[in-house]
Amino acid sequence: MVPGSEDPYANLREQLHRAYLLKTTLGLLDWDQQVNLPAGSAALRSQQSALLATLHHEAAVSSRLREALEAAGRSTPGTDDDRAAVVRLARIDYERATRLTPAFVREKTEHQNRSYHAWARARETNDFGSFAPFLERTLEFAREEAVLQGWRERPYDYHIDLHDPGLDAATVESLFNRLKGPLLELAGKLLGAPIDIDDTLFHGFPAHDQERFALRVTEKLGFDYRRGRLDRSLHPFCSGDGHDTRMTTRFDPDNPLDSLFSAIHETGHGLYGQGLPLDEAATPLGEPVGMAIHESQSRLWENQVGRGRPFWRYFSPLYRETFPEQLRHIPDEELYRAINRVSLNPIRVDSDEVTYNLHILLRFELEKALFDGRIQVNELPREWNRLSESLIGVKPKNDAEGVLQDIHWSGGAFGYFPSYTLGNMIAAQLWYRVREEIPALEEGFARGNFQPLLQWLRDNIHRHGRRYDTGELVKRVTGNPISPDFLLRYLEERYLPLHR
């Protein structure tokens, strides 16, 4: 890193690198907060994070970066495709960052902090009313941000685009409308022929042994523990990037499948992170496209791979080796049925991969209605419960189990929920595509060979970073635009034979 380097492109990379170091440091503060931070140390951490966020924003809007972008823009176009892509995308980021004033960023961050704590308290005490004023202000910030970014007329589109570049509410709505009918029909069939499992059989799986098995599985799938970790946290997540990938899960001795599939899910995110070009880590070519693509990776590994028979043909003996006593009375077919059981649940994160999407349709409806002004924040609990009954078929016992169940809105993450079902759609699309290209893929899984899938994802998804937007990338890899058809086909093929 030579300051004021002669090569304009090298100089741009240097400026981006500074912002990257601040962003990843901020990421570590957040990771530590969720994994390690003592309860009484939260005040210091929030001050540290606020300062690092400010410093990152300063780096992202600095005049040095602007000058570097201008100089690189004059010298690179046409000379090299990668460089031109970096300049183009970095300019978008720079412009986005400069449209937000430092005061706006600070006030929004401070509000989100308070709002998060208000949500956590409200969920604990089952009191939506105490959280509502915070959510109202959060919604105002979301609208203000859209205005500052030049999306005054389409604030919800802005937030969708922020999570999944190139998508908008109309596109999502059209996809979801095509999904909805057939999905409800399928869910009806499956729920009408429920799988009966004795849950008390899944009992007494010590956390330490679960952890050993999770490490074994995730390493076998291809996660590189030389530059990553698996820790424990209240809510599983994956943060960091290919230089230092931090995944978490949780271990409940009486719910070992939840822990394991959380770990596999986060491994999908982690493999994406580790597959992005390392030497572009600080540039947009080393960043993920967006949340739908990210979720497509986690869902593909968790569901298409991890819930499949070939996966369990390989891992069942090893699982039984780790838990000989606990699994003695659960034959393989019973285990497989437990892994793929569809049932009604008011909680999104506890839902199976069929009804999960209904939870997302509900949230998308409510977000649209909030941004359109068709409903007000204080009407959310009523609307949530109404939709939960009509769409999912289950009425939450209370707001903690209903409108307060998710963290997203407390942090202002509107437009994020659709990514989950878009990710499911894309995962299924990729799944059919990769099996066309590698017919023996699943035979390999049964022998413990997951490398061909990982390599295919590396070549087709990971290595591109943010070069293509969400829809472009899917079209490029699968030959089709994003579509619900593959998800529906996959769900029918996997779940109908099991529920008879």
Q: What residues are labeled active site? A: 266
Work out whether 180 is an interface residue with a second copy (CB under 8 A). no
Core vs surface per residue 381-408: b (16+ CB within 10 A) or e: bebbbebbeebbebebeebbbbbbbbee
CB nearer a second copy, residue 46 or residue 303: 46
Q: How far apart are CB 269 and a second copy at their closest, in Å?
A: 16
CB nearer a second copy, residue 35 or residue 120: 35
H or E element in which residue 229 lies: strand 228-232
Give the span between the Cα atoms of 247 and 235, in whole angstroms. 11
Tally of residues, the chain: 500
Angle (CA) 120 122 123, round 5°: 65
Work out whether 225 is an interface residue with a second copy (CB under 8 A). yes
Say if residues 3 and 14 touch (Cβ distance below 8 Å).
yes
Among 459, 417, 33, 473, smallest CA distance to 239 is for: 33
Residue whose entry in the numeric block shows the structure tokens 């008011």: 346
Q: How far apart are CB 352 and a second copy at their closest, in Å?
A: 33
Work out whether 308 is an interface residue with a second copy (CB under 8 A). no
DSSP 8-state class, residue 226:
G
Total residues at the site for a second copy (CB under 8 A)?
Answer: 33
CB nearer a second copy, residue 47 or residue 130: 47
CB nearer a second copy, residue 182 or residue 206: 206
Work out whether 28 is an interface residue with a second copy (CB under 8 A). yes
DSSP 8-state class, residue 223:
-
How far from chain centre, in Å, is Cα 444? 27
Work out whether 103 is an interface residue with a second copy (CB under 8 A). no
Q: What character string, x for contact with a second copy (CB under 8 A) and - otherwise, covers 240-279?
A: ---xx-----------------------------------
Give the span between the Cα atoms of 314 and 324, in whole angstroms. 16
Stretch that binds a second copy, among 26-34, 257-265, 419-427, 432-440 (CB under 8 A): 26-34
Kindly write down the DSSP assignment for every residue of 262-324, as one continuous string: HHHHHHHHHHHHHHS-GGGTTSGGGS---HHHHHHHHHIIIIIITTSHHHHHHHHHHHHHH-T
CB nearer a second copy, residue 4 or residue 373: 4
Stretch that binds a second copy, among 97-105, 187-195, 219-227, 459-467 (CB under 8 A): 219-227
Give the span between the Cα atoms of 19 and 52, in whole angstroms. 10
Among 250, 256, 224, 221, smallest CA distance to 237 is for: 250
Work out whether 38 is an interface residue with a second copy (CB under 8 A). yes
Among 299, 269, 268, smallest CA distance to 427 is for: 299
Q: How far apart are CB 41 and a second copy at their closest, in Å?
A: 4
CB nearer a second copy, residue 47 or residue 480: 47
CB nearer a second copy, residue 244 or residue 406: 244
Q: How far apart are CB 157 and a second copy at their closest, in Å?
A: 35
Work out whether 40 is an interface residue with a second copy (CB under 8 A). yes
Q: How far apart are CB 247 and a second copy at their closest, in Å?
A: 12
Give the span between the Cα atoms of 102 and 432, in whole angstroms. 46
Q: How far apart are CB 462 and a second copy at their closest, in Å?
A: 18
Work out whether 37 is an interface residue with a second copy (CB under 8 A). yes
Kindly write down the DSSP assignment for every residue of 104-158, as one continuous string: HHHHHHHHHHHHHHHHHHHHHHT-HHHHHHHHHHHHHHHHHHHHHTT-TT-HHHH
Work out whether 44 is an interface residue with a second copy (CB under 8 A). yes
Q: What character string, x for contact with a second copy (CB under 8 A) and - otherwise, covers 431-470?
A: ----------------------------------------
CB nearer a second copy, residue 225 or residue 397: 225
CB nearer a second copy, residue 228 or residue 423: 228
Stretch that binds a second copy, among 24-32, 254-262, 347-355, 375-383 (CB under 8 A): 24-32
CB nearer a second copy, residue 40 or residue 373: 40
Q: What character string, x for contact with a second copy (CB under 8 A) and - otherwise, covers 45-74?
A: x-xx--xx--x-------------------
H or E element in which residue 239 lies: strand 238-241
Stretch that binds a second copy, among 42-50, 161-169, 290-298, 311-319 (CB under 8 A): 42-50
Q: How far apart are CB 51 and a second copy at their closest, in Å?
A: 5
Stretch that binds a second copy, among 20-28, 112-120, 438-446, 475-483 (CB under 8 A): 20-28
Residue whose entry in the numeric block shows the structure tokens 């698996």: 230
| Residue 414, C-beta contacts closer than 8 angstroms, at least 6 positions apart | 139, 142, 156, 159, 367, 370, 371, 408
Among 461, 441, 464, 439, smallest CA distance to 451 is for: 441
Angle (CA) 130 136 141, round 5°: 135
Work out whether 18 is an interface residue with a second copy (CB under 8 A). yes
Sign of torsion, CA 177 181 184 189?
Answer: negative
Say if residues 224 and 256 touch (Cβ distance below 8 Å).
no
Stretch that binds a second copy, among 18-26, 85-93, 114-122, 484-492 (CB under 8 A): 18-26
Binding site for a second copy (CB under 8 A): 17-18, 21-22, 24-25, 28-29, 32, 36-41, 43-45, 47-48, 51-52, 55, 208, 224-229, 231, 243-244
